Amino acid sequence: MKQRSILYRITIRCLFILFIGFLITGCSKGRGKEIIIGSHLPLSGPGGLVGLEQKWAYDQAVKDINDAGGIYVKEYDAKVPVRLIAIDDESDSGKAAAAVERLIKKDGVELILSGSNGAMGVLPGMITAEKYKVYYHGTLIWLETFLEHKFKNCSLYNFDMGQVIPMCFEVWNSLPKDQRPKRPAIFVEDSFDGKMMGDALTMFAKKFKYNVVLHQSMGLGAKDFTTQVIKAKSANADGIICLANTPETVTLVRQLKENDVSFKVFQGFKGTWPTEFYKSLGKDADYILCDGFWSEDYPFKGAKEIGQRFFDKYEKHSTSVGLYYALCQILFQAIEKAGSTDPVKVRQAITDNEFNTVNGKVKYDGRGVALYTSGNFQWMNGKQQNIYPFNLAKYKIKAAPPWKKR
């Protein structure tokens, strides 16, 4: 009886070991069946218009790589399809962090594509990814903020504020002297990004010999800026620089017109580039400038195609989808060059290689940083005409006539 009991226990242990081995083998094979990539995006809330374009670009990049058979991963010796899990962070910093934590803990994600909204979205996402040692492939956060945190598991592909701020005044200086604004007013949203941008704009305005006559804060989600507009009129402002979400920027432009505050140039950041901005204002949006991350008119392989595809879907153009599509291209190429989906190896491949994208060639430095030149565009007849960088531009800026002469 005792020998039978011992034999029984040995048999159970053997079966248990075989079972565990089966699970491990099964999991290992399961990992090779697909590459799961996570993302948190502002699909609702103040940043919703930005997030929807970002999500579209991510989906297209995933579709295109899967249509080509997937990403070749050496450790599996096979092409592996990609699956994207995107969570709506509702343009909320707390929910952005929670979304990344959910992707890691619940979905087992080890590679994360960037969110949006800078300090309100990308930064909490990066901090959470760093905590769990998961690779965060980021964009749309200030370089200084990224470097301050000394991230080891994150990377940054973004424009440099040291380039985009001077861009504003370089474009103004390309106008004939009598058409340039002399008394600009700055309107920025009440946020970390707004403060950073406002301070930098004020500093560079002095360097370019522009006298800022007004610096105003705009409440996030505010519906009325009459007080700020009246101050701009009293200061005789003839140029406007604005960083805010689209709804607030639309309200500002309407109230400038209602109070007959004309401007020679209106430089918008963030809120003026979505097509919904033009749809909301119609011809009143003509002459207004918008920053942009990319143009379908750039002479890079695939740029025209991705721009046309977006237009065919939504009957509108975009100055952002190429950036997000390029971000995916970089990550997919890095996985193949790493020969693995291991986050450490993929992050290393990012810094070791050069990548070809719809936004041109991309090369990261040892800090995990790659910078591109931000674009500038002018709305005319429902189209964003690229006016900067000058060497890639097809159009020249035009000064805006007074409201009463339009």
195 bridge partner residues:
none
Structure tokens of 311? 């237009």
Tell whether 65 and 140 lie within a shared domain.
Answer: yes
Shared domain for 317 and 397, answered yes or no, is no
Amino acid in position 314: Y
CA distance 389 to 171: 9
Nearest to 396 by CA among 277, 289, 250, 257: 289
Q: Which two tokens stand for residue 222?
A: 């505010």
* CB 311 within 8 Å of CB 60: no
- Write the secondary structure of 87-110 as one string of H (helix), E (strand) and C (coil): EECCCCHHHHHHHHHHHHHCCCCC
Asked if 166 and 308 sit in the same domain, the reply is no
| Residue 24 resides in a domain | no
Structure tokens belonging to residue 129: 């990814």
Q: Which residues on neighbouring strands pair with residue 216, listed in sequence order? A: 187
Q: Is residue 4 part of a domain?
A: no
Are 356 and 330 contacting, i.e. CB atoms less than 8 angstroms apart?
no
Say if residue 306 is in the same domain as residue 283.
no
- Tell me, yes or no, whether 191 lies in a domain: yes
Tokens in use for 375?
A: 């674009």
CA atoms 335, 338, 341, 345: torsion sign = negative
d(CA 321, CA 54): 6
Q: Which residues are CB-neighbours of 222 under 8 A, at least 6 positions away?
A: 248, 251
Place of tokens 């946020």: 191
CATH number at 243 reads 3.40.50.2300
Structural domain contains residue 183: yes
Q: What is residue 298's DSSP assignment?
A: S
d(CA 225, CA 251): 7
Number of domains the chain contains: 2
Determine the Cα–Cα distance for residues 325 and 298; give it in Å rounded to an integer.
14
Residues 59 and 119 in one domain: yes
Q: Which two tokens stand for residue 12?
A: 């159970």
pLDDT confidence of residue 187: 98
Q: Which two tokens stand for residue 109?
A: 């994600």
- Residue 108: other Cβ atoms inside 10 A: 12
Whether residue 277 is found in the same domain as residue 389: yes
DSSP SS3 for 43: coil
Output the tens digit of pLDDT for each of the chain's 406 residues. Answer: 444 454 445 445 544 444 444 343 333 333 569 999 999 999 998 778 788 899 999 999 999 999 999 999 999 999 999 999 999 999 999 999 999 999 999 999 999 999 998 888 999 999 999 999 999 999 999 899 999 999 999 999 998 878 889 999 999 999 999 999 999 999 999 998 899 899 999 999 999 999 999 999 999 999 999 999 999 999 999 999 999 999 999 999 999 999 999 999 999 998 998 888 999 999 999 999 999 999 999 999 999 999 999 999 998 888 899 999 999 999 999 999 999 999 999 999 999 999 999 999 999 999 999 999 999 999 999 889 999 999 989 899 999 999 999 9
The parent domain of residue 39 ranges over 34-159+300-373
Nearest to 56 by CA among 396, 341, 328: 328
Tokens 């709506």 correspond to 88
Q: How far is CA 153 from the centre of its chain?
A: 19
Q: Please tell me the predicted confidence (pLDDT) of residue 118.
A: 84
* Pair 259, 397 in one domain: yes
- H helix runs in 209-281, sequence order: 226-234, 246-258, 275-281
Q: Do 201 and 168 touch, CB atoms closer than 8 A?
A: yes
**Is 15 among the domain residues?**
no
Question: If residue 380 lies in a helix (H) or strand (E), which one and from where to where?
Answer: strand 375-380
- What global pTM score does this model have? 0.80
- Is the domain of 282 the same as that of 331? no
User: Is the bond leading into 389 cis (omega within 30 degrees of zero)?
Assistant: yes
Do 388 and 251 share a domain, yes or no? yes
Residues 153 and 180 in one domain: no
First to last CA, the chain: 103
pLDDT at 251: 98
Q: Are residues 318 and 394 in the same domain?
A: no
User: How would you classify the pairing of strands 383-388 and 135-138?
Assistant: unpaired
Shared-domain flag, residues 83 and 122: yes
